[in-house]
Structure formats: C-alpha cells, structure tokens
C-alpha cells in the first residue's frame, strides 16, 4: 500500500514539474505565411529627375491597384502574389506599360521606370491669299 502512495505522489510531482516547465517556456505559434508581396517603384525622366504626381495602375488577374507617385517620385503597391503589369501616365510624358512582373509572397520587387518625354507637336495653319490673274 505504501508503494502505491509513493508512486501516486511521484506521478503527481512529475505532472506538477511538467506543468511548471510548460508555464515558464515561451509559447511559440507558427504564423501563417503572407500571400502578399510589394512593388516599390521610382519614376524618373530621361535626366534621372523624379516624376511627381504621375498616375500609376498595377493590374494582374482580377486585382487592380491605383495610385500616384509621391513628392520623391516613388510609389508602393501591396499586391497578392502573382503576375502584374504597371501602367504610368504623366503630363508631358509618353504613357508607359511594363512587361509582366512576377511578385512572390513576402517579397518586395523594386522597379525604376524611366519615362520618355512626349514630343510637342503644334500645327500652325498657313493660308495663302494668292490672287489669280
């Protein structure tokens, strides 16, 4: 009988020890992997000056993001992992369309976009008032 009490007491101490051990260790929880990535870009002109206030669209599949370049010519778009095209429109520049860009989860894709100046074409009407004899 004493042996049963001893084993019961020993089992209680083991359980108590395991409980205290678990309480003092940090709890580790696996965080789910993000399914989003990021596109960070800078808009530049032919002289590497920053282009401010350009309209930007990022499109891929059913996802669409729209924004503008900031005062430093930069933009940031958080997007689901996938393939995207970047479209840019800015006054005085030709429209820009990128090739497909693949964005992976938890990865930031950096892009520098050089915009070409839109040529200014003015038409000046010329009228001839030549008199016929």
Give the pLDDT of residue 120.
82
Give the pLDDT of residue 24.
38
Distance from C-alpha of 49 to C-alpha of 112, rounded to nearest angstrom: 12
Give the pLDDT of residue 123.
72
Distance from C-alpha of 48 to C-alpha of 39, rounded to nearest angstrom: 20
Strands 36-44 vs 74-80: parallel, antiparallel or unpaired: antiparallel
- Second CATH level (architecture) for the domain 36-114: Sandwich (2.60)
How confident is the prediction for the chain on average, in pLDDT? 80
SS3 94: coil
Give the pLDDT of residue 125.
77
**Boundaries of every domain in the chain:** 36-114
Regions of the chain where pLDDT drops below 50 = 6-7, 9-31
pTM, two decimal places: 0.66
């Amino acid at each position: 009988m004493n042996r049963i009490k001893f084993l019961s007491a020993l089992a209680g101490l083991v359980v108590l020890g395991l409980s205290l051990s678990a309480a003092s260790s940090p709890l580790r929880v696996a965080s789910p992997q993000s399914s989003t990535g990021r596109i960070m870009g800078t808009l530049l002109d032919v002289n590497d000056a920053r282009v401010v206030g350009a309209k930007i669209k990022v499109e891929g599949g059913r996802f669409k993001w729209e924004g503008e370049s900031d005062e430093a010519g930069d933009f940031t778009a958080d997007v689901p992992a996938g393939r995207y095209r970047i479209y840019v429109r800015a006054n005085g520049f030709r429209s820009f369309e990128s090739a497909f860009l693949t964005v992976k989860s938890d990865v930031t894709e950096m892009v520098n976009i050089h915009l070409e100046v839109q040529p200014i074409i003015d038409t000046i009407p010329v009228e001839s008032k030549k008199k016929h004899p």
